[in-house]
A = this chain, B = another copy of it.
Amino acid sequence: MNGAQALIRTLVGAGVGVCFANPGTSEMHFVAALDEVPEMRGVLTLFEGVATGAADGYARMAGRPAATLLHLGPGLGNGLANLHNARRGRAPVVNVVGDHARSHKRLDAPLESDIDALAGTVSSWVRRSLCTSDVAGDAAEAVAAAARGAVATLILPADVSWEDGAAVADPVAVRPAPRVADAVVADVAAALRSGEPAVLFLGGDVVAGEAGLLTAGQIAAGTGARLMTETFPARTVRGAGLPDVSRLPYPPEMAMAALAGTKHLVLAGATRPVHFFAYPGVPGTPVPEDCTVHVLAEPGEDGVAALQDLAGLVAPDAKPELLEASRPELPAGQLTPRALAAVVGALLPEGAIVVDEALTSGVGLDELTSGAPRHDRLALTGGAIGDGLPMAVGAAVACPDRPVIGIQADGSAMYTVQALWTQAREQLDVTTIVCDNGSYAILEGELDRVGAGGGGTRAEQLLRLDGPALDFVALAAGMGVPATRATTAEELADALRKALAEPGPHLIDAVLPGRG
């Protein structure tokens, strides 16, 4: 058995059954070995950023890693931005990065580069397989390293892949998330009993399932603490029958207002909130100066159990307030971001996966979908735009029986627009709504916010997507995805209904104010 065959069989044995790939010459033995291991599904992408973003989306929904197959340093480089997002969202991903044969490394061939350095910037675990007999064991360790919520990168020299003498390795046991010490829970309980204004700040695994949210709701009901999540949780279960949990707003002034007066900020699965960016004269964090931050559970610890322990201490008999089922009315007339959100809220199917890379066009989306049937929302964890279309690929591969709806900013869509082709090739049930405002609208706001506003025409031109306007209907058609344009709320509703009723991918170009 050659190295590639043992590697793939080991991945499959460890529960990794999908590989999002964009291979090159150094990966040809891996590609050939795919034929012999039908349990591994190879999914071709036309750009590595699609492969890594798909692995991110897959991991968030499947709860286990997919593999990526990337071609040397430039292939890994192309995938780095979405690996950054995966890292920030603690999504498990196993990268297999092909490299030159060991004998070829010292020759400084044109594709030679420092793969190890690149991998280190996004990976919690990096290993270069140095001989064929090691590669399966390395792969098993990579899966275990990823499984705890990390990017693991295995660098695979071509000859390690093609030489014989490998054997399949057993899976490496994954240690469960550690429990939080009782003393920590007791300290938080004391803070909540003080009666001072408190916020339970939730994130990570705590908001990815019902148990965490319901327990947090119980604590809120029993103590008066408010509930809030981090701004961009990797995965949030939402909808009627769950507590109403707002997100910490993105704009610094709104984030500071949201936390104003808070004396105790209790982190459960989330990290300490900071502003996305610094702004002249603005503090770096929205946490009030006189607020005490309590770390109930760090990301990676068992935050749900910690909340349950805490609830037992401070609110054993409380019942969470739950959202009733409600949907907005279907709007009519002009298509605004809020009307777009209302259409989504009105039509969102049970069990949908909402991939939210709407950015400025997402106004009202949280509110108008909060009482919808139960669904999951995936957010842009690391701020590296271009995760939405690929994440939708991965989510749909992970959950083939659930509809995926992408709410997608136009500028960000163009980063990894190649994902549409993979949606078509795999006939994934993804409906992408492009929020087509013809600009990097978030940057138009940021230009003012950083105090650099009053910008002239030349600055503005660097933030506009018109001249020429992008035609997303044509772009989708060019990659085999049926597409239509909606210029009114009614047209959007019609298009969305139709897309949801048909199998396979669809794209709706939602023309919003601002588009030239």
Binding site for B on A (CB under 8 A): 21, 23-26, 28-29, 31-32, 34-35, 38, 42, 44, 46-47, 49, 73-75, 77-78, 80-81, 84, 88, 100-101, 103-104, 107-111, 113-114, 117-118, 120-122, 158-159, 162, 232, 271, 274-278, 280, 284-285, 381-384, 386, 411, 414-415, 417-418, 421, 424-425, 442-443, 446-447, 449-453, 455-459, 461-465, 467-475, 477-480
Contact = CB atoms under 8 A, between A and B. Distances in A.
Nearest to A159: B278
A32 to B, nearest CB: 4
B81 A110 contact: no
20 contacts: A24-B446, A25-B450, A28-B443, A32-B455, A32-B459, A34-B462, A35-B458, A46-B414, A47-B386, A73-B121, A74-B384, A78-B78, A84-B113, A108-B271, A109-B277, A117-B118, A117-B121, A158-B277, A471-B479, A474-B478
Given A81-B74, A470-B421, A42 B462 contact: yes
B447 A28 contact: yes
A24 B383 CA distance: 10
Contacts of A84: 73-74, 77, 111, 113
Contacts of A80: 73-74, 77-78, 80, 118
Contacts of A101: 277-278
A158 B322 CA distance: 43
A470 B479 contact: yes
A457 B32 contact: no
Contact of A415 (B46, B285, B415): B46
Contact of A120 (B75, B104, B117, B462): B117
Contacts of A470: 421, 478-480
A26 B417 CA distance: 24
A100 B282 CA distance: 13
Contacts of A463: 23, 31
Contacts of A74: 80-81, 84, 382-384
Contact of A107 (B284, B382, B462, B468): B284
B159 A32 contact: no
Given A78-B80, A474-B478, 5 more contacts: A23-B443, A31-B443, A42-B458, A73-B80, A74-B382
Contact of A104 (B159, B284, B450, B475): B284
A414 B418 contact: yes
B35 A456 contact: yes
A280 to B, nearest CB: 6
Nearest to A114: B121
Nearest to A414: B46
A276 B71 CA distance: 13
A498 B468 CA distance: 21
Given A21-B462, A104-B278, A113-B84, A478 B480 contact: no
Contacts of A285: 107
A53 to B, nearest CB: 12
A277 B29 contact: no
Contact of A472 (B38, B47, B478): B478
Contacts of A425: 467-468
Nearest to A26: B277
Given A121-B118, A475-B479, A274 B38 contact: no
A31 B459 CA distance: 5
Contact of A31 (B73, B442, B455): B455
B121 A284 contact: no
A111 B284 CA distance: 14
A452 B32 contact: yes
B110 A88 contact: yes
Contacts of A474: 474-475, 477-478
Contacts of A104: 274-275, 277-278, 284
A35 B458 CA distance: 5
A74 B32 CA distance: 32
Given A274-B109, A462-B21, A452 B29 contact: yes
A415 B47 contact: yes
Contacts of A480: 468-471
A162 B451 contact: yes
A38 B459 CA distance: 11
A113 B121 CA distance: 7
A25 B121 contact: no
A28 B450 contact: yes
A242 B436 CA distance: 52
Contact of A25 (B108, B277, B411): B277
